[in-house]
């Protein structure tokens, strides 16, 4: 109203003086209604220093509560350059102890923040300014409609549209982003073609959001869960668990984070902090670092530090723990039967460490924990009584995670389209239950329009309090500010974004980290004086296994080391003719690839094939467990066995290098391998070298 009266007054004066009125537009129009705030002065906003550097951002905050990164000229100053200097908001500490005021001005408004550096402790203390002007999040929420608040909590996927993969923005999707005020989206492999296209798509999603920047998320764990079709293909969490290096896990996390950040993807749904202590687990397995809670916690926090250093939000999953399950929650509902004492020692331990270290977000598990919450619901599938999963449990999300474990960050559900939820709960009912339980972000709700309306009605009808919604919005906006996920007054051009992405994604530096991680992960669990191979030039080497299971990649790498190689493409027992064709082989290399209990069973085709080679041919057999380390339990009499935990090209290269002695294996088993009678075949930490 004040702005309107001022404009009328100006027009009247101009008319009287016959002076033409020139409308004020752009930054000049914004400046008279905006305050300047250093983001780190906002309560609850936190950011880690990296190599004695700390990034500060200047925000313009309007009377309507909206905030944006300042794009105009700013003057940054340090009061004590002996302690720290500042350039474009990046503070660099000199290493000298002391106190320093960092200030910023846009020529009209200014702000400052105080830093103390304790050199002996190598510690930075941040002293925030106080006052109503810093209640940026509170002001934003106060000025939001209920539709805008609910929208911040919705994170759908747009994998396909009218039967076609969504690789570019269309008007219908842009309208949904605007109309429902979405707070985020998740991308999948269907959304990616190459680096330039992915950067353009991520940018188009941000352009479609009118007020607050989107959380653009993805599952880029590395290994078997890698959504991007270009870039660096890290071997995955269990490979890092075998490498036993926090430094390597942090470098991998940072490289992944840098590539995502360059593409405009600002949130990663990783790392997996599930403790994989069930060999029969069909959905976690090599996505976990280990069966050992301490190793999972140590490597998980290192990976998180890497993501944070790259400016990418990290998400620990799947709380309270999906490791000791034998049902895939994409298909059905699984149960973890342990009591709280056991959960605290094993499943909850890595999550607690991540919370203590400041993890951005935690993803829930669609798994029941009856010793924590035995609340029942009636399944919409068949009317039976079921225990509600953690995702929909107030006792798990609010009482356990929030109150007992002290977590204040964002809680995001696992995908609400998964079978464990859709089979038993309707889309709207599941969304309402998740919010009531304490979830902040609803990932991949089924039917964005119906779910949004259902949440509006639940709030208006009193089933969900407006306070409960605002608590979630405050946490989401805090996360966005923590990771600088804020719209800029003037965005870089799409050409600049694409050029930067092409420079970062798949860079030589990242490929070097990828190759090193793969090499350090290779685990030699058995060697009957066979490896490394000392094959003469004329010796025949046979490579056996299915190209459907990536054995053709192993063949390619073996051929780099030896010229006389024969390949048999099969995933079942060999015929008499096939056996005869490799009867003169000096060495036999066989690759097995499984992802389930049935796949590695002794009577499964690949296991029959491997044991046939062992028993019917005279040549030494070297087996490679391509994905699942538990494969080796079904061919215990093999002459040599290596595990690589991943089907990414770098892992096959590392395996071939190991077979031929170019790489000295140093990996240690991150899990226990059992015999068929459940006795231990190879213990946790086992691993041979040359």
Q: Which residue in the list 330, 429, 539, 686 is annotated as catalytic?
A: 330
Residue 57 has, within 13 A of its CA and on its CB side, a CA count of 24
Please give the Cα distance from 111 to 104 (Å, whole number).
6
| 643 prior amide bond cis, ω within 30 | no
Please give the Cα distance from 382 to 380 (Å, whole number).
6
Q: Which residue in the list 111, 233, 373, 414 is annotated as catalytic?
A: 414
Q: Are 363 and 418 in contact (CB under 8 A)?
A: no
β-bridge pairing 220-222 and 225-226: antiparallel
Please give the Cα distance from 331 to 328 (Å, whole number).
6
Q: Residue 313: which of 200, 482, 188 has the closest Cα?
A: 482
Q: Are 572 and 613 in contact (CB under 8 A)?
A: no
Question: Which two three-digit tokens encode residue 656?
Answer: 């071939």
The question of whether 414 is a catalytic residue gets the answer yes
Coil/strand/helix, residue 126: strand
Q: Are 181 and 140 in contact (CB under 8 A)?
A: no
Please give the Cα distance from 494 to 497 (Å, whole number).
5
The most distant pair of C-alpha atoms in the chain lies apart, rounded to whole Å, by 107
Sign of the C-alpha dihedral computed for residues 514, 520, 524 and 527 taken in this order: positive
Residue count of the chain, please give it.
690
- Can you tell me which residue has the tokens 């570019």? 168
Question: Which two three-digit tokens encode residue 518?
Answer: 């793969």
- Can you tell me which residue has the tokens 């951002």? 57
Q: Give the list of residues 6+ apart from residue 452 with CB closer than 8 angstroms, or none.
A: 147, 150, 151, 154, 180
Please give the Cα distance from 277 to 291 (Å, whole number).
5
How many CB atoms are closer than 10 A to CB 95? 12
Please give the positions annotated as active site.
Answer: 330, 414
């Amino acid at each position: 109203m004040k702005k309107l009266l001022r404009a009328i007054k100006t027009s009247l004066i101009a008319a009287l003086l016959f002076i033409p009125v020139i409308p004020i537009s752009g930054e000049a129009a914004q400046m008279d209604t905006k305050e300047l705030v250093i983001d780190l002065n906002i309560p609850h906003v936190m950011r880690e220093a990296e190599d004695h550097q700390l990034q500060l951002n200047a925000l313009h905050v309007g009377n309507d509560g909206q905030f944006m990164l300042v794009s105009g000229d700013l003057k940054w100053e340090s009061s004590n350059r002996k302690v720290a200097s500042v350039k474009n908001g990046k503070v660099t500490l000199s290493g000298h102890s002391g106190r320093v005021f960092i200030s910023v001005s846009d020529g009209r408004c200014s702000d400052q923040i105080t830093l103390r550096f304790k050199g002996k402790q190598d510690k930075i203390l941040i002293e925030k300014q106080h006052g109503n002007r810093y209640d940026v999040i509170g002001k934003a929420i106060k000025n939001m409609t209920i539709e805008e608040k609910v929208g911040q909590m919705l994170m759908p996927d747009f994998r396909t549209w009218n039967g076609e993969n969504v690789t570019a923005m269309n008007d219908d999707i842009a309208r949904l982003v605007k109309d429902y005020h979405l707070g985020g989206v998740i991308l999948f492999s269907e959304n990616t073609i190459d680096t330039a296209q992915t950067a353009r798509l991520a940018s188009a999603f941000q352009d479609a959001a009118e007020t607050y920047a989107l959380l653009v998320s993805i599952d880029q764990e590395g290994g078997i869960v890698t959504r991007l079709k270009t870039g660096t293909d890290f071997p995955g969490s269990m490979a890092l668990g075998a490498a036993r290096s926090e430094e390597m896990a942090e470098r991998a996390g940072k490289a992944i984070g840098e590539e995502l950040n360059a593409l405009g993807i600002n949130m990663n749904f990783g790392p997996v902090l599930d403790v994989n202590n069930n060999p029969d687990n069909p959905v976690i397995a090599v996505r976990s670092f280990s069966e050992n809670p301490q190793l999972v916690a140590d490597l998980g926090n290192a990976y998180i530090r890497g993501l944070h250093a790259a400016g990418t939000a990290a998400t620990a999953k799947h709380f309270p723990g999906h490791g000791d399950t034998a049902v895939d929650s994409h298909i059905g509902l699984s149960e973890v039967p342990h009591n709280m004492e056991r959960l605290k020692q094993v499943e909850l331990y890595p999550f607690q460490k991540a919370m203590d270290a400041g993890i951005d977000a935690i993803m829930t598990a669609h798994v029941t924990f009856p010793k924590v919450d035995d609340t029942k619901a009636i399944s919409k599938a068949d009317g039976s009584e079921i225990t509600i999963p953690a995702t929909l449990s107030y006792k798990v999300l609010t009482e356990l995670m929030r109150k007992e474990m002290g977590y204040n960050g964002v809680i995001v559900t696992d995908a609400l389209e998964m079978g464990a939820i859709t089979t038993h709960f309707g889309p709207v009912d599941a969304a309402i239950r998740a919010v009531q339980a304490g979830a902040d972000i609803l990932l991949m709700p089924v039917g964005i329009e119906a779910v949004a309306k259902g949440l509006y009605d639940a709030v208006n009808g009193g089933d969900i309090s407006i306070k409960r919604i605002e608590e979630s919005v405050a946490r989401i906006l805090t996360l966005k500010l923590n990771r600088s996920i804020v719209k800029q007054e003037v965005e870089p051009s799409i050409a600049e974004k694409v050029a930067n992405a092409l420079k970062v994604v798949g860079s030589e530096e990242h490929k070097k980290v990828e190759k090193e991680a793969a090499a350090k992960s290779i685990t030699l669990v058995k060697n009957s004086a066979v490896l490394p191979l000392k094959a003469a030039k004329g010796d025949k080497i046979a490579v056996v296994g299915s190209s459907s299971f990536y054995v053709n990649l192993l063949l390619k790498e073996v051929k780099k080391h030896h010229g006389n190689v024969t390949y048999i493409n099969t995933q079942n027992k060999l015929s008499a003719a096939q056996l005869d064709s490799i009867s003169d082989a000096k060495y036999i290399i066989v690759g097995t690839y499984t992802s389930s209990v049935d796949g590695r069973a002794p009577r499964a085709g690949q296991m029959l094939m491997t044991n046939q080679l062992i028993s019917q041919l005279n040549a030494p057999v070297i087996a490679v467990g391509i994905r699942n380390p538990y494969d080796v339990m079904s061919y215990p009499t093999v002459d040599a066995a290596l595990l690589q935990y991943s089907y990414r090209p770098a892992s096959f290269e590392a395996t071939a290098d190991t077979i031929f002695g170019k790489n000295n294996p140093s990996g240690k088993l991150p899990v226990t391998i059992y015999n068929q009678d459940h006795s231990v075949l190879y213990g946790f930490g086992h691993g041979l070298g040359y």
